[in-house]
A and B are shown apart, each in its own frame.
Chain A
Amino acid sequence: DADVTQTPRNRITKTGKRIMLECSQTKGHDRMYWYRQDPGLGLRLIYYSFDVKDINKGEISDGYSVSRQAQAKFSLSLESAIPNQTALYFCATSDPTSWETQYFGPGTRLLVL
């Protein structure tokens, strides 16, 4: 089984809808991240969490919110989706005992119409 899983893998939604992307990990890492990837822009950090009680905004947090329900679960919400939030979304963990080596989920492809 994959160490970092994301659900759903693909999602089509309409402008104004609220959606949630979920991430689960079995690596036992405290640190988790949400990124979005757009063609030609690389990955940009949305939110990150260093433990269950810690939530931090990343580079592009506007329009997004997160919830760290447990060490293993980190969810990303779009309160009112808009078309420019169409992107590939990745969840990741990192291991501070190995110099923050990052482990990524398979991604969620989101299309906002």
Chain B
Amino acid sequence: DAGVIQSPRHEVTEMGQEVTLRCKPISGHDYLFWYRQTMMRGLELLIYFNNNVPIDDSGMPEDRFSAKMPNASFSTLKIQPSEPRDSAVYFCASSPDRGGEQYFGPGTRLTVT
């Protein structure tokens, strides 16, 4: 298996622009997670899905952030409008079990200028 795939790997955008991050989980994994990692705040869970349904979005910082999972093999995290404080590495992870080990993608490094 190719593992969790994320695109793009790097994104540089200007404040106010829309940013869309993409994730393809490992086939057969029922759980998908979006994380954000910064030096200041560490690793933060933003949202997770089970069988394409959002289960917990309490970590989504504000209405500028939205996530969708239209099918079992694809998810997006959108930021609109983006702000410099959104600069971070965003990880997608998937898991076959509730509370089981998660397999992480390589991350997307987002820079908002």
Decide if A and B are genuine partners. Answer: no
Binding site for A on B (CB under 8 A): none
Binding site for B on A (CB under 8 A): none
